[in-house]
Copies of this chain bind each other. A is one copy, B any other.
Amino acid sequence: MANGLPNPLLTAGAARSLVDSVDAFLFDCDGVIWKGDQLIEGVPETLDLLRKMGKKLVFVTNNSRKSRRQYSKKFRALGLEVTEEEIFTSSFAAAMFLKLNNFPPEKKVYVVGEDGILEELRLAGFECLGGPEDGKKNILLEANFYFEHDKSVGAVIVGLDQYFNYYKMQYASLCIRENPGCLFIATNRDPTGHMTSAQEWPGAGTMVAAVSCSVQKEPIVVGKPSSFLMDFLLKSFNLETSRMCMVGDRLDTDILFGQNTGCKTLLVLSGVTTLSELQDASNTIHPDLYTNSIYDLVGLLQQ
């Protein structure tokens, strides 16, 4: 808490000392870099300035709908030069979690989620089933219908899934309940997200809540605010968390993630959190600094 106030606004002085005290900026994407498919104003200038100042930039998103490769295409389509190696998605984190935990290659992974998870799992060498394809499948909730599932599934990954249905919920539940040792992994628990520019939509947290209720078990979370993503990130880069700043629009994922892992934290109001939510007495998560959008850095650093 820079100046003793619970939520200090980013000023020119605070911006300067923030930039001086960190080597890397970790950016959440949705609500910070873009909203849906729309770039937020001033983002290219801000990223350019920070790169020119020698800062390392990392993009950390809980959105599991795309793989790192697909995200790097999205960045390029929006006119931003960002490499795959600079992108950490919760879909990638889920695949890396299995890899680091020596998930047996003969076991399969059942996916409640979209293509991003499937692609990252395949790139990591895992066999998976489920995904968008199972969104077309129906069940017959009738008398003697028996739902079969693959006994060789050793992990279920649940992420955001616009094709979520009862079939997948039962498939995931049976694997978790009946396959001995089957892992239950959540990409993240965000209740909502700006999946389109205009509106909030149910987030991965809703699918996770449904499956978790069905199996009466809590998942392992690999995305923000879990520290797994950070541990993996630190292994990939030569960085210290005390010299990093996490920039995000969500208190309960981005800012909490930054705090859980020992980063400095900057909340931007260009996404889901409003100033009144930040300042509400019920809020217990306080960033080190807040500002309207990352573009403010450009103006403040040039004063």
A210 touches which of B141, B143, B163, B206 (Cβ 8 Å)? B206
User: Is A162 within 8 A of B141, CB to CB?
Assistant: yes
Query: Which A144-195 residues sit within 8 Å CB-CB of chain B?
Result: 144-147, 161-166, 169-170, 173-174, 189, 191-192, 195
A207 contacts partner chain B, Cβ-Cβ < 8 Å? yes
| Distance in Å: Cβ of A79 to nearest Cβ of chain B | 16
A139 contacts partner chain B, Cβ-Cβ < 8 Å? yes
Chain B residues closer than 8 Å to A143, beta-carbon distance: 36-38, 196-197
Q: How many interface residues does A have (CB within 8 Å)?
A: 44
**Smallest Cβ-Cβ distance to A38: which chain B residue:** B143
Docked Cα-Cα span, A8 to B97, in Å, equals 47
A214 touches which of B144, B192, B198 (Cβ 8 Å)? B192
| Distance in Å: Cβ of A181 to nearest Cβ of chain B | 20
Query: Which A211-229 residues sit within 8 Å CB-CB of chain B?
Result: 211-216
Chain B residues closer than 8 Å to A210, beta-carbon distance: 202, 206-207, 209-210
| Distance in Å: Cβ of A139 to nearest Cβ of chain B | 7
Secondary structure at the A interface, as helix, strand, loop or mixed, is loop
A203 contacts partner chain B, Cβ-Cβ < 8 Å? yes
Docked Cα-Cα span, A38 to B143, in Å, equals 8
A199 contacts partner chain B, Cβ-Cβ < 8 Å? yes
A232 contacts partner chain B, Cβ-Cβ < 8 Å? no
Chain B residues closer than 8 Å to A213, beta-carbon distance: 189, 191, 202, 205-206, 208-209
A142 contacts partner chain B, Cβ-Cβ < 8 Å? yes
User: Is B164 within 8 A of A198, CB to CB?
Assistant: no
User: Is A191 within 8 A of B216, CB to CB?
Assistant: yes
| Distance in Å: Cβ of A269 to nearest Cβ of chain B | 19
Chain B residues closer than 8 Å to A199, beta-carbon distance: 146-147, 174
Chain B residues closer than 8 Å to A142, beta-carbon distance: 37, 196
User: Is A214 within 8 A of B191, CB to CB?
Assistant: yes
User: Is B166 within 8 A of A196, CB to CB?
Assistant: no
Task: Tell me which of A147, A199, A215 has the highest count of chain B C-beta atoms within 10 A of its own C-beta.
Answer: A199
User: Is A198 within 8 A of B144, CB to CB?
Assistant: yes
**Smallest Cβ-Cβ distance to A177: which chain B residue:** B200
| Distance in Å: Cβ of A230 to nearest Cβ of chain B | 24
